Structure 1
Amino acid sequence: MAKTQLNVRVDEDTARAARERALERGMSVNRYIEELVRQDTGEVGHTFVEAAADFMKQYETVFAEEFEAGAPDRAKPGVRDQREGRRGQL
């Protein structure tokens, strides 16, 4: 992606905070500001949701098989009541 230069003016405290936070994260101030803007505009969240949707599509059958395999016990009426009754007898 092509980069565009953007000049902004901030007070010294804001500039110092940006430098410190960028340093703590091991990145340049430019990258730090760029990531903040992406987070604010939801690009990072949108990317996460897209990746999660792709993951679920890819592994949909695995999840379905796993949950269907355990479903019979959970779906039977009265199983919970029987288990609770056993606990009361112990």
Structure 2
Amino acid sequence: MFIDLVIAGLFAMSLVPLVTGYCAYSYGRSFWLWFALGLLLPIVSYFVLFALILRQQLDHGQRLLNEAKALLAEAEEVERAERRE
């Protein structure tokens, strides 16, 4: 019973660093850096990362750059598919 509680507690404590690391990685930041920050400062690191992502998304130039990258990636994928045929 006690070991089950310890395992559940460890899982719950690692959930915030995993989410923080995943969010950081999906926005082009280092997974391991943000995972470590999530372990050391679980709630603080999550809100700091949220603020950084929000600032990046509100920047009009950065948003246009992200859209252009997505369009180029889509065009490359279409070109690869056409070559295979």
TM norm structure 1: 0.35
Instruction: Between the two structures, name the one with larger relative contact order (CA 8 Å, sep ≥ 6).
Output: 2
Q: Which protein shows a greater Rg? A: 1
Give the helix-richer structure, 1 or 2: 2
